[in-house]
Amino acid sequence: MSNSHITSRSSVNTPSTSSLNLANSEIQDAARAQSSQSPKHSISSQTPNNEQMATSMSSQPAAGNPYPIIYIAGDSTAAIKGATEKPMSGWGEYLQQHVQPEVVIRNYAVNGRSTRSFLAEGRLEYIADQLKPGDYVCIQFGHNDGKIEDPARYADPEHDYPEFLQQYITAVRSKGATPILLTSVSRRYFLENGQLDPEALGPYPAAMRQVAATTATPLVDVFEHSQQLYRELGEQESISLFMHLQPGTHPNYPNGITDNTHFSEYGAARIAELITHAIHQHPDLTELVKLFLQPTSIKSTTLN
């Protein structure tokens, strides 16, 4: 793929070999962990390195499979989690159960990445090099783009973030594939008055909506749908969606954990279900819907 599709006037610093190898190790560990769980359908997680692609975590369909591939580019909220992180889970781990058995999902989401760092590590270019016409790329960032203290990840919402998103869109479309923008899944932040914080991700969801509008890119408003879910569940019941563990209840978290960003297995599955329903309802994604199974009903949440 031509580098012209993944560079802009916004500064993207290329990481050192050691940092990229560390990133490779993170996602390959997660892939091995997910493989050990024997998923119902095939799912793969790969990442670029200096010489070749990481190996697939599970067997791939036979050559000539006519189905489009669904790719995920994103951060920890979507990423496959390794054995030492469980029961923390990413919603991308659960999307596979909603698609036809022949459909492959390649989840390239990686913990801690922003639009800037994902680009700088060559991850977008790696995805684009695999794309064929008819494929889909789900793009969800925002959680780490706001880390102003970290210049390797920070992307300001008015300039850098929209520019980087447009680079993703251009790269995907250049291969005849379809980009799909997903607003950041909401954090669980309740205010003192008991109301859910509508600014839990700051200006990033709105910035993505604007990019979607100006580029005519399909948008799945995961931020709004997830906020709706948390409101319906309420402050206490919504805890079950997230990583809240008491000390001594899980060997991976001996001191316990209270995390309102990252999902429990149940929470990740509910978010994958929300995304599936939103895709089914999207007027511009009728071809993508054909790759999915009929959605099951979501307990108390109806997407509008």
pLDDT tens digits, 3-56: 444 443 343 443 333 333 334 444 444 443 333 333 333 333 444 543 323 323
3-class secondary structure, 128: helix
Q: Is the peptide bond before 251 cis (omega within 30 degrees of 0)?
A: no
Q: How many domains does the chain have?
A: 1
- What is the mean predicted confidence (pLDDT) over 116-122? 98
Residues 32-35: contacts with CB under 8 Å, at least 24 apart: 32/57, 32/82, 32/83, 33/80, 33/81, 33/82, 33/83, 33/86, 34/80, 34/81, 34/93
For residue 236, pLDDT beyond 50:
yes
Q: Provide the whole-model pTM.
A: 0.82
User: Do 58 and 39 touch, CB atoms closer than 8 A?
Assistant: yes
3-class secondary structure, 114: coil
Secondary structure in 3-state letters for 217-278: CCEECHHHHHHHHHHHHHHHHHHHHEEEECCCCCCCCCCCEEEEEEECHHHHHHHHHHHHHH
Which domain covers residue 260, as residue numbers? 15-289
- 295 pLDDT tier (thresholds 50, 70, 90): confident
For residue 295, being part of any structural domain is answered with no
User: Do 135 and 69 touch, CB atoms closer than 8 A?
Assistant: yes
Q: Which residue has the higher pLDDT, 176 or 47?
A: 176
For residue 304, being part of any structural domain is answered with no
- The whole-angstrom separation of Cα 89 and Cα 30 is 10
Cα–Cα distances (Å) from 124 to 74, 259, 280, in that order, read 10, 28, 26
- What is the mean predicted confidence (pLDDT) over 246-273? 97
For residue 276, being part of any structural domain is answered with yes
For residue 294, being part of any structural domain is answered with no
* Angle 143-144-147 from CA coordinates, rounded to 5°: 120
Per residue in 64-115, pLDDT (tens digit) is 678 999 999 999 999 999 999 999 999 999 999 999 999 999 999 999 999 9
What are φ and ψ of residue 120, in 5° steps?
A: -65, -30
User: Do 159 and 200 touch, CB atoms closer than 8 A?
Assistant: no
For residue 10, being part of any structural domain is answered with no
User: Do 163 and 206 touch, CB atoms closer than 8 A?
Assistant: no
Share of the chain above pLDDT 90, in %: 75
The predicted structure's pLDDT at residue 63: 57
For residue 2, being part of any structural domain is answered with no
User: Do 49 and 24 touch, CB atoms closer than 8 A?
Assistant: yes
Structure tokens at 59: 């067997």
Phi-psi region of 103 (alpha: psi -120 to 50; beta: other; left: phi over 0): beta
Instruction: State the CATH number of the domain containing residue 87.
Output: 3.40.50.1110
- The whole-angstrom separation of Cα 257 and Cα 243 is 7
Q: Which amino acid is at 136?
A: Y
The predicted structure's pLDDT at residue 66: 84
